[in-house]
Amino acid sequence: MALAALIAAYHESGEAGHLRATLPLAGRTVIERQARLAASAGANPVLIFVERLPAALSAAIERLRRDRIPVRIVRNAEEAAEAVDPFDRLLLVADGAIVPAAQQVRLAAEPGPAVLTVPDSGYGELYERIDAESRWAGLAAIDGALLRETAGMLRDWDLQSTLLRRTLQAGAGHVPADGAAAVAILDREPDLDALERRIIAGADGTGRSWTDLALAPIERAATLVLIGSPVSPQVVGLAAALLTALGAASFYVGWYWIGLAKLLAATPLDGIATRLARLRMQSGVRQGWWAYLVPLFAAAAFVILAYGLVAAHGWGMVLLAFVTLAFLAALAVECEGEEIQGAILLAERKSMTWLILPFAIFGLWNAAIAFLFAYAAFSFFWAQQQVHARHRLTGQD
């Protein structure tokens, strides 16, 4: 049984000149977030029910298609019914309703028709009252057959309201929303402001290293500047890869300070790209090709720096650089899928880049390489000891 979604996108909002679907939210529009949430819950296709197609709505749908979200425009109930098999499970998403993907998955798994509810107290008229104690949270789960039956008798009635009433008449189960604050139906700026603050806070994520924590304010500020711009996370990632490559090239020609400055400037960019992708719900940004080039170029820069020091300090510099990289690779393998005590302090690309700086200030580039070797070696042996001790306690090989 397939899962589809039908999103209403035709009601005027409380803000002049905007449909609810085209209200700005986290740098994009409400309809984009609704469609991405439905798609991440497994819905395919994601049907967008429109009566007219203003430029803002058309642009939003085009952006969704470019990101391969399986959206399809339907202009009447008959088109919507034809796009869904009678045996499909269908998520009905109210105009302007934002419901987390986990709650959509949960409702879709309910047997028979079901509606997501919030308490009657504390919620206004945007949330339709469905009984004396609860209101509709903007999400219902039905089957394609009910949509077809409704399309056959709709006439001039509102599709969203009619489908909701028929769902309730069919004995729909009432499922209370988990963490009701995460559910929202948007119509005016105050509704948007409250939700957007939660979305921005949720984009922070958890820092993997001490450098991530130190760079977080810079990344957060830059992300807020870029949130409403056309700049994509991939462009930010490309800038990180390009700066890192230019840093390696600068080391090659002996411009050590210029090379280090470029490497340092690149360190917050992948964090900015990740935050921006979370805000826009553009999954897979960490699997972009640039995410593999950045550490590759950084490793090349480290080896090139060591090679430039051979004349003054011997070939041991290059050997130290390669052994350091080997320790880092072994550390990544050792830590995969494991919880390491003190992991935030262990060696990784960004922290090692910043640790070159104090040595560079005093011209001790060779000492920087020796220190990073010791740092990477200690990090590996610390992680190895933690993992193997845990496995011995649990009886694993």
Indicate if 57 and 130 belong to the same structural domain.
yes
CA distance 180 to 221: 29
Indicate if 146 and 29 belong to the same structural domain.
yes
- pLDDT reading at 116 higher than 60: yes
Residues 6+ apart with CB under 8 A from 128: 135, 136, 161, 164
Indicate if 18 and 107 belong to the same structural domain.
yes
Mean predicted confidence (pLDDT) in 71-89: 93
Which one has a higher pLDDT value, 269 or 132?
Answer: 269
What is the reported pTM? 0.80
What CATH number is associated with residue 211? 1.20.120.1760
Indicate if 107 and 186 belong to the same structural domain.
yes
Select from 165, 196, 227 the last residue of a domain.
196
- pLDDT reading at 396 higher than 60: no
CA distance 182 to 189: 17
Residues 6+ apart with CB under 8 A from 228: 24, 27
Select from 137, 172, 196 the last residue of a domain.
196
- pLDDT reading at 60 higher than 90: yes
Indicate if 79 and 147 belong to the same structural domain.
yes
- Asked which of 9-23, 52-66, 188-202, 331-345 is least confident by mean pLDDT, the reply is 188-202
Indicate if 122 and 243 belong to the same structural domain.
no
Nearest-5° Cα angle at 38, 35 to 43: 115
Mean predicted confidence (pLDDT) in 330-335: 91
Amino acid making up residue 156:
D
Hey, is 52 helix, strand or coil?
Answer: coil
- pLDDT reading at 63 higher than 70: yes
Which one has a higher pLDDT value, 107 or 227?
Answer: 107
Indicate if 184 and 240 belong to the same structural domain.
no
> Domain range holding 139?
3-196
Indicate if 168 and 216 belong to the same structural domain.
no
Nearest-5° Cα angle at 285, 42 to 283: 15
Indicate if 102 and 218 belong to the same structural domain.
no
Indicate if 389 and 334 belong to the same structural domain.
yes
Indicate if 271 and 167 belong to the same structural domain.
no
Amino acid making up residue 217:
P
What CATH number is associated with residue 34? 3.90.550.10
- Tally the domains of the chain: 2
Indicate if 73 and 212 belong to the same structural domain.
no
Q: Radius of gyration of the chain from Cα atoms?
A: 27
Select from 196, 215, 230 the last residue of a domain.
196
